[in-house]
Every structure is written in structure tokens, then in C-alpha cells.
A and B are shown apart, each in its own frame.
Chain A
Amino acid sequence: MPDRIALVIWVLGITADVCLIATSLIRGSFLKYFFLNLYVILAMSADLSRQFVLRTWGLNSVEYHYVYYYTDCLLTIALFVAVISLASRVFAELKLDKFVRITAVLLLLGTAGFSYGVVAQSTQRLSTSFTNELSQNLYFVGLVLTYLLWGAVLKLHETRTRLVQMVLALGLYFSAYAGSYALVNLASKYEAVLYLGPLLGCFLPISWSLTMLRHSEDSRLTPARLVAVQR
């Protein structure tokens, strides 16, 4: 990736992260959406540490590869936890939040075990392969979970505007990210495809910040309007 474009995207990402944290602090929602904010803080720390390692050891160094894959794996797990925190809020009224958390932990361990199993079958047991495999699988599980969560939001006639829009933003992000992973595999020769991932990384904090700015915690919407085709 040319240095200048990558740097512009990096600065945009950091700015978007800072914007979200500042917005949630100003709006008094930092603790209310703690896991979402935690994900953004971790994303910012990962961006900074990757940049430091990149400048010190270079793009093709072993150090950069390790830092990149391990932070990516950590971020995917943090995002997974953020999805679960939103799911707990949606299911809280049904008193199913504890069940959701236990299921999520089992799913996380299951995905980690599956990914390890896939990597362990290869002759070279590289830990970076394991983290890469785990990240990809968790993104896919995250997409499916968000899809199910959206189904629950519709079924339970959720009216909280912030919650609905945060789940939808997450769904858009996971779909776009999973698509970009696939596109990189299919058409990696096109350089533009390589910018997709870092660019999409900026979308989530921006959309969450806009949601927090536009709507208060009490803001409600008409649930019937959310169903694409009225019955």
C-alpha cells in the first residue's frame, strides 16, 4: 500500500476512534456502552502499536507480522464481546442476558478450538496462522450473530433508537468486512481492494458517534417501520 494513502486512512481511523470516545464521554454513555468503547480503545492502541512496529522494524519483519495478527485476533474477540453486550441489552427484558453470555463464551471457545484444529492439521503449526484463522472465523461468526441479533430486535419490537442503530451499524460493518476479506482472496491483484479493510475500520466508530450525537438514550422509534416488508 502506498505510504501516503495508508497514512491518511490511519489518521482518519484514529480521529474516528477519538471522536467516539469523546462523544460517549460528553453524552455520559461511556459506561453504558463500555464494551463498545473498550473495543474502540483497543483498536486505537492496536493502530498505534502497529504503526510503531512498522516504523521501527518495517513491513516485512517478523515482529510486524506477529503484532499485526495478534492485535487483529484480540480486536476480533473484543468486537465479538461488543456484539454480546448489545445482545445482552436486547434480551435483558426477557431475563435471558445470563444465558446469552454463557452461550457466547461457549461459542468463542468453540470457534477458537475449531480454528486451532484446522491449523493443527497442517504440518507447520504457526501461531500466526492460528490467529489469522481465528480472526476470519470470528468475523464470520460475528456476522451470523449480528444477523440473529437483528432478527431478535425485530421479533421483540425493540424501540430504543440508539440500540437499533448500533446493531445495524455493526451488521453493516461485519458484512462489509467479511465481503472485503473474500474480495481480497478473489482479487488481491487489484491494489484498491487492499484499502477496503482499513477504510471500513473507520466506519464503525463514525456511525456509532453519529448515533450517540443524534439520539439520546430515551429516544424511541416505531418498530413497525423497521420491517422491510409490512405484513
Chain B
Amino acid sequence: MMAAFILAFSLLTLLMFFVSYCRSLTAASMHKALTEEVLDVTGIQAKASGRDFVRVMQLLQLCPDRHEDRSGLQIVGTYYSFLNLLDQSLAKLSPAVHTWAEEERAGCAHFAAVALGRRIALNREMLAQQVEL
């Protein structure tokens, strides 16, 4: 009985800390504006929406990898899948959950778009170095 209670309590806190951890990752990139280049390449209209995430991730795979971004993108990708799952299940019962999940997915898309901006900049640097050689 006690073990079951601790398991339920810890699963709840685990979920809460996971959501907050992912939000802290996306929050760190929220104050960074998207560059014109990123807006052009991704077709994002001023502000990223949840649907942009998949497209931005595909574009990220075309750019040279930055290992500093890799783990963050994986965690945010997992969070995005979790939000999709939430949207397909609980959101049908409550529209507020759908609105919240959509806002969160937009945050994920913004995070990925900021990472894309960094990768484009890295790509340009590498190209410039090759031209110099």
C-alpha cells in the first residue's frame, strides 16, 4: 500500500518536473528572436506555431550537426511527442488542454528554429573558411 502510494506520488512529481525541465529548455530560447533567414527558410510567419516543429526538425537534419544542440533537441523532441499524445487523448475532454498543448508546441518549434539559426550561421562560417582556403 505504502509502496503504491510512493510510486503514484513520484510518478506525478516526475511528470511535473519533466514538463518544467522541458519548459526551462524552451524558456532559455524564448527571448531570442528568429532571424530573417530562418523565417525565410522555414516559412514561419513572425511567430512559430506547433505545426512548424516537424518541418524545422527536417531542415535541421540537412545542416551540419552541432553537438551542443543535440541533447536539448532530443529532449524537446520527446516533449513534443508527449504533447501530441496529450492533445490526442486528454485534449478531447477539455479544450483548455488543447490550447495549452498548442502553446507548448509553439515553444518547441521556436526552440528548434533558434537552433536552426545557429546551424545556418555555423554553415556559413564553414563555407567562408572553405572559400578562404
Contact = CB atoms under 8 A, between A and B. Distances in A.
Contacts of A231: none
B6 A178 contact: yes
Contact of A225 (B11, B14, B21, B27): B27
B28 A219 contact: yes
Of B13, B18, B23, B71, the most chain A CB neighbours within 10 A belong to B13
Interface of A: 140, 143, 147, 150, 161, 164-165, 168-169, 171-172, 174-176, 178-179, 181-183, 185-186, 210, 213-215, 219, 221-222, 225-226, 228-229
Contacts of A150: 17, 20
Nearest to B67: A213
Contacts of A210: 71-72
Contacts of B40: none
Contact of A179 (B10, B19, B28): B10
B61 to A, nearest CB: 21
Given A225-B26, A226-B24, A172 B17 contact: yes
14 contacts: A143-B13, A165-B25, A171-B21, A174-B13, A176-B14, A178-B10, A179-B10, A179-B11, A182-B10, A185-B3, A222-B30, A222-B31, A225-B23, A225-B30
Interface in B1-56: 3-4, 6-7, 9-11, 13-14, 16-21, 23-28, 30-31
Contacts of B68: 213-214
A215 B6 CA distance: 34
B21 A165 contact: yes
Contacts of A165: 21, 24-25
A172 B27 contact: no
3 pairs of A and B residues whose beta carbons are closest in the complex: A225-B27, A179-B10, A175-B14
Nearest to B100: A229
Nearest to A177: B10
A214 B26 CA distance: 13
A172 B17 CA distance: 6
Contact of A186 (B4, B9, B11, B13): B4
A73 to B, nearest CB: 19
A82 to B, nearest CB: 16
A183 B6 CA distance: 9
A213 B66 CA distance: 13
A68 B23 CA distance: 37
A178 B107 CA distance: 30
A175 B27 contact: no
Contacts of B71: 210
Given A161-B28, A222-B31, 12 more contacts: A140-B6, A143-B10, A164-B24, A165-B24, A171-B13, A171-B17, A172-B14, A175-B17, A185-B3, A214-B72, A219-B28, A228-B19
Contacts of A175: 10-11, 13-14, 17
Nearest to A180: B10
A141 B119 CA distance: 43
Contacts of A172: 14, 17-18, 21
